[in-house]
Structure 1
Amino acid sequence: MRLARTLLAAAVLAAAMPAAATAHHGWRWTEGENTRLTGTITAVKLGNPHGEVTLDVAGTAWLVEVGQPWRNDRAGLTPEKLVEGVEMTVIGETAADADRKVIKAERVIIDGTEHVLYPERD
Protein backbone atom coordinates (compact mmCIF):
# COMPACT_ATOMS: atom_id res chain seq x y z
CA MET A 1 0.00 0.00 0.00
CA ARG A 2 2.82 2.39 0.91
CA LEU A 3 4.66 1.60 -2.34
CA ALA A 4 1.48 2.18 -4.37
CA ARG A 5 1.00 5.63 -2.77
CA THR A 6 4.64 6.54 -3.41
CA LEU A 7 4.41 5.48 -7.05
CA LEU A 8 1.14 7.38 -7.50
CA ALA A 9 2.66 10.54 -5.97
CA ALA A 10 5.72 10.23 -8.23
CA ALA A 11 3.52 9.80 -11.32
CA VAL A 12 1.43 12.87 -10.45
CA LEU A 13 4.57 14.93 -9.84
CA ALA A 14 6.16 13.76 -13.10
CA ALA A 15 3.01 14.63 -15.06
CA ALA A 16 2.84 18.13 -13.55
CA MET A 17 6.49 19.07 -14.10
CA PRO A 18 6.50 19.36 -17.92
CA ALA A 19 3.46 21.64 -17.84
CA ALA A 20 5.10 23.94 -15.29
CA ALA A 21 8.36 24.02 -17.24
CA THR A 22 6.58 24.78 -20.49
CA ALA A 23 4.59 27.57 -18.91
CA HIS A 24 7.75 29.48 -18.02
CA HIS A 25 10.43 28.28 -20.39
CA GLY A 26 8.41 28.06 -23.59
CA TRP A 27 7.02 31.01 -25.52
CA ARG A 28 3.40 30.85 -24.34
CA TRP A 29 3.92 33.55 -21.69
CA THR A 30 5.10 36.08 -24.31
CA GLU A 31 3.00 38.53 -26.32
CA GLY A 32 3.91 36.88 -29.64
CA GLU A 33 5.47 39.93 -31.31
CA ASN A 34 9.05 41.15 -31.51
CA THR A 35 10.13 44.18 -29.51
CA ARG A 36 13.49 45.96 -29.58
CA LEU A 37 15.05 47.27 -26.35
CA THR A 38 18.41 48.97 -25.87
CA GLY A 39 20.00 49.55 -22.50
CA THR A 40 22.98 49.01 -20.25
CA ILE A 41 23.73 45.70 -18.55
CA THR A 42 23.54 46.04 -14.75
CA ALA A 43 23.64 42.36 -13.69
CA VAL A 44 24.28 38.95 -15.25
CA LYS A 45 23.44 35.41 -14.11
CA LEU A 46 24.36 32.73 -16.64
CA GLY A 47 23.59 29.03 -16.47
CA ASN A 48 20.69 26.61 -16.81
CA PRO A 49 17.85 26.58 -17.58
CA HIS A 50 18.74 29.92 -19.28
CA GLY A 51 20.84 32.97 -18.58
CA GLU A 52 19.40 36.18 -17.20
CA VAL A 53 20.67 39.68 -17.86
CA THR A 54 19.30 42.75 -16.13
CA LEU A 55 19.16 45.66 -18.53
CA ASP A 56 18.62 49.30 -17.55
CA VAL A 57 16.38 50.74 -20.27
CA ALA A 58 15.81 54.47 -19.64
CA GLY A 59 15.71 53.92 -15.87
CA THR A 60 13.55 50.79 -15.95
CA ALA A 61 15.06 47.41 -15.08
CA TRP A 62 14.23 44.72 -17.63
CA LEU A 63 14.99 41.03 -17.13
CA VAL A 64 16.36 39.59 -20.39
CA GLU A 65 16.21 35.82 -20.79
CA VAL A 66 19.11 34.80 -22.99
CA GLY A 67 19.70 31.20 -24.03
CA GLN A 68 21.00 28.13 -22.31
CA PRO A 69 24.82 27.96 -22.15
CA TRP A 70 25.04 25.81 -25.32
CA ARG A 71 22.70 28.16 -27.23
CA ASN A 72 24.67 31.25 -26.17
CA ASP A 73 27.94 29.56 -27.20
CA ARG A 74 26.49 28.60 -30.59
CA ALA A 75 25.46 32.23 -31.15
CA GLY A 76 28.88 33.56 -30.08
CA LEU A 77 27.37 35.24 -27.03
CA THR A 78 30.19 34.53 -24.59
CA PRO A 79 30.27 35.50 -20.90
CA GLU A 80 33.02 38.00 -21.72
CA LYS A 81 30.52 40.00 -23.79
CA LEU A 82 27.80 39.99 -21.13
CA VAL A 83 29.34 42.24 -18.49
CA GLU A 84 28.03 45.14 -16.44
CA GLY A 85 28.25 48.51 -18.17
CA VAL A 86 27.99 47.14 -21.72
CA GLU A 87 25.29 48.57 -23.99
CA MET A 88 23.11 45.82 -25.43
CA THR A 89 20.16 45.74 -27.82
CA VAL A 90 17.68 42.90 -27.47
CA ILE A 91 15.16 41.79 -30.08
CA GLY A 92 12.65 39.37 -28.69
CA GLU A 93 9.23 38.84 -27.19
CA THR A 94 8.08 40.58 -24.01
CA ALA A 95 5.77 39.12 -21.41
CA ALA A 96 2.07 39.22 -22.31
CA ASP A 97 1.53 40.68 -18.83
CA ALA A 98 2.65 44.30 -19.37
CA ASP A 99 3.44 44.69 -15.66
CA ARG A 100 6.25 42.12 -16.01
CA LYS A 101 9.37 43.71 -17.47
CA VAL A 102 10.70 40.49 -18.99
CA ILE A 103 11.84 39.84 -22.55
CA LYS A 104 12.90 36.53 -24.08
CA ALA A 105 15.78 37.36 -26.41
CA GLU A 106 15.77 35.99 -29.93
CA ARG A 107 18.71 38.18 -30.98
CA VAL A 108 21.23 40.24 -29.02
CA ILE A 109 23.40 43.00 -30.48
CA ILE A 110 26.60 44.05 -28.71
CA ASP A 111 29.25 46.30 -30.30
CA GLY A 112 27.53 46.00 -33.68
CA THR A 113 27.62 42.20 -33.70
CA GLU A 114 24.30 40.37 -33.85
CA HIS A 115 24.06 37.11 -31.91
CA VAL A 116 21.12 35.00 -33.13
CA LEU A 117 19.94 32.78 -30.29
CA TYR A 118 16.89 31.30 -32.01
CA PRO A 119 17.55 31.00 -35.76
CA GLU A 120 14.59 28.64 -36.04
CA ARG A 121 12.25 31.56 -35.19
CA ASP A 122 13.41 33.76 -38.10
Structure 2
Amino acid sequence: MRSPILAALAAFILLVPVLAQAHHGWRWTTGGNIELTGVIREAKLGNPHGVLTVEADGESWTVEVGQPWRNARAGLKDGDLAPGVEIRAIGEPSADAEARRMKVERLFLGDREYVLYPERD
Protein backbone atom coordinates (compact mmCIF):
# COMPACT_ATOMS: atom_id res chain seq x y z
CA MET A 1 0.00 0.00 0.00
CA ARG A 2 2.83 2.41 0.83
CA SER A 3 4.57 1.96 -2.49
CA PRO A 4 1.68 3.27 -4.70
CA ILE A 5 1.25 6.30 -2.43
CA LEU A 6 4.95 7.10 -2.57
CA ALA A 7 4.96 6.65 -6.34
CA ALA A 8 2.00 9.01 -6.72
CA LEU A 9 3.63 11.58 -4.45
CA ALA A 10 6.90 11.39 -6.39
CA ALA A 11 5.06 11.81 -9.70
CA PHE A 12 3.24 14.88 -8.34
CA ILE A 13 6.47 16.44 -7.07
CA LEU A 14 8.08 15.96 -10.48
CA LEU A 15 5.05 17.34 -12.32
CA VAL A 16 4.68 20.63 -10.39
CA PRO A 17 7.74 22.35 -11.95
CA VAL A 18 6.61 21.28 -15.44
CA LEU A 19 3.17 22.80 -14.91
CA ALA A 20 4.66 25.99 -13.48
CA GLN A 21 7.01 26.33 -16.47
CA ALA A 22 4.18 25.77 -18.92
CA HIS A 23 2.22 28.64 -17.37
CA HIS A 24 5.05 31.07 -16.64
CA GLY A 25 7.35 30.17 -19.51
CA TRP A 26 6.92 30.85 -23.19
CA ARG A 27 5.45 27.51 -24.31
CA TRP A 28 1.92 28.88 -24.52
CA THR A 29 2.98 31.59 -27.01
CA THR A 30 3.29 31.44 -30.80
CA GLY A 31 7.00 32.26 -30.99
CA GLY A 32 6.31 35.30 -33.21
CA ASN A 33 5.70 38.90 -32.19
CA ILE A 34 2.70 41.18 -32.51
CA GLU A 35 2.21 44.82 -31.59
CA LEU A 36 -0.71 45.91 -29.43
CA THR A 37 -1.65 49.51 -28.63
CA GLY A 38 -4.33 50.31 -26.09
CA VAL A 39 -5.22 51.74 -22.71
CA ILE A 40 -4.56 49.96 -19.43
CA ARG A 41 -7.88 49.29 -17.68
CA GLU A 42 -6.52 47.24 -14.78
CA ALA A 43 -3.03 46.54 -13.43
CA LYS A 44 -2.03 43.78 -11.03
CA LEU A 45 1.70 44.05 -10.55
CA GLY A 46 3.73 41.68 -8.44
CA ASN A 47 4.91 38.10 -8.40
CA PRO A 48 5.09 35.86 -10.26
CA HIS A 49 4.62 38.56 -12.95
CA GLY A 50 2.50 41.61 -13.60
CA VAL A 51 -0.78 41.28 -15.46
CA LEU A 52 -2.49 44.16 -17.25
CA THR A 53 -5.94 44.29 -18.75
CA VAL A 54 -5.60 46.41 -21.88
CA GLU A 55 -8.47 47.71 -24.01
CA ALA A 56 -7.36 47.71 -27.66
CA ASP A 57 -9.63 48.16 -30.68
CA GLY A 58 -12.72 47.35 -28.63
CA GLU A 59 -11.24 44.11 -27.27
CA SER A 60 -9.94 43.30 -23.81
CA TRP A 61 -6.46 41.74 -23.74
CA THR A 62 -4.57 40.08 -20.90
CA VAL A 63 -1.02 41.40 -21.13
CA GLU A 64 1.72 39.80 -19.04
CA VAL A 65 4.66 42.02 -18.12
CA GLY A 66 7.71 41.04 -16.10
CA GLN A 67 8.34 40.22 -12.50
CA PRO A 68 8.85 43.27 -10.25
CA TRP A 69 12.66 43.01 -10.51
CA ARG A 70 12.51 42.71 -14.31
CA ASN A 71 10.21 45.73 -14.66
CA ALA A 72 12.51 47.78 -12.38
CA ARG A 73 15.58 46.67 -14.35
CA ALA A 74 13.87 47.90 -17.54
CA GLY A 75 13.37 51.31 -15.89
CA LEU A 76 9.67 51.12 -15.01
CA LYS A 77 8.67 52.87 -11.80
CA ASP A 78 5.68 52.52 -9.49
CA GLY A 79 2.64 54.02 -11.17
CA ASP A 80 3.99 53.77 -14.75
CA LEU A 81 1.68 50.83 -15.51
CA ALA A 82 -1.61 52.15 -14.16
CA PRO A 83 -5.22 52.38 -15.31
CA GLY A 84 -5.71 55.09 -17.94
CA VAL A 85 -2.15 54.89 -19.29
CA GLU A 86 -1.74 54.25 -23.03
CA ILE A 87 0.68 51.44 -23.77
CA ARG A 88 2.21 50.03 -26.93
CA ALA A 89 3.39 46.48 -26.32
CA ILE A 90 5.43 44.16 -28.50
CA GLY A 91 5.47 40.51 -27.57
CA GLU A 92 4.35 37.00 -28.21
CA PRO A 93 0.63 36.24 -28.39
CA SER A 94 -1.01 33.11 -27.10
CA ALA A 95 -1.10 30.19 -29.52
CA ASP A 96 -4.85 30.22 -28.76
CA ALA A 97 -5.95 33.30 -30.76
CA GLU A 98 -9.27 33.42 -28.92
CA ALA A 99 -7.43 33.98 -25.62
CA ARG A 100 -6.38 37.58 -26.48
CA ARG A 101 -3.32 37.18 -24.29
CA MET A 102 0.28 38.19 -24.85
CA LYS A 103 3.61 38.11 -23.05
CA VAL A 104 5.41 41.43 -23.45
CA GLU A 105 9.05 41.56 -24.53
CA ARG A 106 9.19 45.37 -24.83
CA LEU A 107 6.75 48.18 -24.25
CA PHE A 108 6.44 51.88 -24.92
CA LEU A 109 4.91 54.55 -22.73
CA GLY A 110 4.84 57.62 -24.94
CA ASP A 111 8.19 57.68 -26.76
CA ARG A 112 10.07 55.82 -24.02
CA GLU A 113 10.94 52.18 -24.65
CA TYR A 114 11.23 49.61 -21.85
CA VAL A 115 12.90 46.30 -22.73
CA LEU A 116 11.74 43.55 -20.40
CA TYR A 117 13.38 40.59 -22.14
CA PRO A 118 16.57 41.71 -23.91
CA GLU A 119 17.62 38.06 -24.21
CA ARG A 120 14.65 37.45 -26.54
CA ASP A 121 15.90 39.97 -29.14
Q: Could you say which structure has the higher strand fraction?
A: 1
Deviation at 1:5, TM superposition (A): 6.2
Which runs of 5 or more residues in structure 2 are unaligned? none
Deviation at 1:51, TM superposition (A): 0.5
The answer as to 2:86 corresponding to 1:68 is no
Identical-residue share of aligned pairs (%): 54
RMSD across aligned positions (CA): 1.4
The 5-angstrom pairing of residues 78-89 of structure 1 reads: 78-89=77-88
* Matched residue type, 2:107: V
The 10-residue stretch of structure 1 (82-91 or 13-22) with the greater mean CA deviation from structure 2: 13-22
Which runs of 5 or more residues in structure 1 are unaligned? none
TM (norm. structure 2) is 0.92
2:90 aligns with 91
What do the CA deviations read for 1:17-67 (whole angstroms, capped 9, x no partner)? 111011111111111111000000000001111100110001100000000
Q: In 2, distance between residues paired with 1:43 and 1:113?
A: 21
TM (norm. structure 1) is 0.92
SS of residue matched to 2:93: strand
Deviation at 1:78, TM superposition (A): 2.1
